[in-house]
Amino acid sequence: MSAKITLRQKAEKTIARRHPWIFSGAIQSVKGNPEDGDILKVMTTNQSFAGRGYWNSQSQIRVRILSWDAEETIDREFWKKRLQRAIAARGDRKVCRLVHGESDYLPGLIVDRYDNWLVIQALTLGIEVRKNMIAEILAELLSPRGIYERSDVDVRELEGLSQAKGVLWGETPPETITIEENGVQYLVDIQNGQKTGFYLDQRDNRQIVHDILASSINPSELSVLNAFCYTGGFTMNAYRAGVRDVISVDSAESALDLAKRTTALNGFAISPEQFVQGDVFGVLREYRQAERRFDMIILDPPKFANSSRQVDRAARGYKDINLIAFQLLKAGGYLVTFSCSNAISDDLFQKIVFGALIDAGRDGQIVRRLHAADDHPIALTFPEGSYLKGLVCRVW
């Protein structure tokens, strides 16, 4: 007998609305002794077909739905068609996110493209047991030089998985590769960099920062602070706009070294002293004590909240860093501030920034709302896919 689960009645509406997650508490019964990673049927209480997905008894999310079509078989051809659809949606882009998990109807799978190199993250057990097949299909479709795995992420522990990284197919990527975005070249460390090596989701927002700075009467007279700068994505766009006084702060020496090399690669003659290693909160407090002032401050911190239980602590962190930024801005300056925490909603983030503004005693206007680039789509049935949110505020 093929394995199947039967839903509790209260959970049927969620699945009918095509949300892809089935939590342990939504399941009334399990039949067929499925092994973790197996594909099984999902049935309603009256035994009508509700969906088909992969099972993991070790996760609070017991089933992740792959199909709501009773006639659709989850075989190699299914995975190929889903991958083809996601790839086609990105057009001819050579640097982009090719597969965005649940929002591309492939839950647990991330695929990023860096020209001739692909990087895979297998975030769930269901993808883990199929990652080699997925890599083979991607190789058939795209003929990359190599496919590298970066499943060295904490979220895998929730699936009962250890972290993993290494070559899945083809060649081993070099220490760094060079990509181009909006006229800027970037050095990317696929093997050891954050995420899959680069923050692809900020592509459009980097261009927005460039456009704001370039529209100034005298960009060369502006001062910019890029906090949590990583390898300098926003920094390069400030330089490209004509700004020369850019301070880039990050806690990771390896990221700053790559930012310096990227600066040189693009021909910007900037002093190494403008790249500051240290705790960002501490460095910004030092600038406040020294009464430093900036025309633009960019805050792109790492995720402060990994779950709803951490929201209060994360909110305090976001408020603290935004408060200091408001105090460091010149009148008429811009704060470009982000949160990548799924548990922090757009509305809550705006309230946090509002609270920081009030405590700083400043006036401010939202001039733009920012989100991830369009190669990071959000399925209408999966609002949890909206993780990156940002505000451009003009401050007085």
Question: pLDDT tens digits for 315-347?
Answer: 999 999 999 999 999 999 999 999 999 899 999
Regarding whether 290 and 152 lie in a shared domain, the answer is no
- The model's confidence at residue 305, banded by pLDDT at 50, 70 and 90, is confident
Residue scoring higher pLDDT (2 or 96) = 96
Task: List the CATH number of the domain containing 276.
Answer: 3.40.50.150
Residue 272 has pLDDT above 90, yes or no: no
Helix (H, G, I), strand (E, B) or coil at 317: helix
Domain closes at, from 123, 150, 173? 173
- The model's confidence at residue 124, banded by pLDDT at 50, 70 and 90, is very high
Regarding whether 85 and 53 lie in a shared domain, the answer is no
Q: Which pLDDT belongs to residue 205? A: 98
- The model's confidence at residue 28, banded by pLDDT at 50, 70 and 90, is very high
Q: Which pLDDT belongs to residue 271? A: 84
- Pairwise CA distance, residues 162 & 135, whole Å: 19
Regarding whether 325 and 253 lie in a shared domain, the answer is yes
- The model's confidence at residue 110, banded by pLDDT at 50, 70 and 90, is very high
The percent of residues above 90 in pLDDT, for the chain, comes to 96
**Mean pLDDT (whole number) for 80-85:** 98
Residue 1 has pLDDT above 60, yes or no: no
Burial classification of residue 238, based on how many CB atoms lie within 10 Å of its CB (0-12 exposed, 13-18 middle, 19 or more buried)? buried
Do the beta carbons of residue 338 and residue 370 sit within 8 Å? yes
Regarding whether 150 and 211 lie in a shared domain, the answer is no
Task: Find the distance separating the first CA and the last CA of the chain, reported in whole Å.
Answer: 68
* Domain encompassing residue 260: 179-395
Q: Which pLDDT belongs to residue 2? A: 83
Task: List the CATH number of the domain containing 149.
Answer: 3.30.750.80
Regarding whether 209 and 81 lie in a shared domain, the answer is no
Regarding whether 275 and 314 lie in a shared domain, the answer is yes
Give phi and psi for 65, each to the nearest 5.
Answer: -75, 130
**Mean pLDDT (whole number) for 301-320:** 90
Q: Which pLDDT belongs to residue 121? A: 98
Domain closes at, from 119, 144, 173? 173
- The model's confidence at residue 227, banded by pLDDT at 50, 70 and 90, is very high
Regarding whether 160 and 39 lie in a shared domain, the answer is no
Q: What are the tens digits of pLDDT across the range 197-216?
A: 999 999 999 999 999 999 99
Q: CA distances (Å), 158 to each of 34, 110, 154, 312, in order?
A: 19, 17, 8, 22
Regarding whether 205 and 150 lie in a shared domain, the answer is no
- Pairwise CA distance, residues 300 & 298, whole Å: 6
Q: CA distances (Å), 100 to each of 120, 173, 257, 327, 384, in order?
A: 11, 22, 29, 37, 12
Regarding whether 144 and 92 lie in a shared domain, the answer is yes
Regarding whether 82 and 48 lie in a shared domain, the answer is no
Report the domain count for the chain. Answer: 3
Burial classification of residue 7, based on how many CB atoms lie within 10 Å of its CB (0-12 exposed, 13-18 middle, 19 or more buried)? buried
Regarding whether 81 and 60 lie in a shared domain, the answer is no
Regarding whether 187 and 286 lie in a shared domain, the answer is yes
Q: Which pLDDT belongs to residue 125? A: 98
Q: Which pLDDT belongs to residue 337? A: 98
Domain closes at, from 21, 48, 67? 67
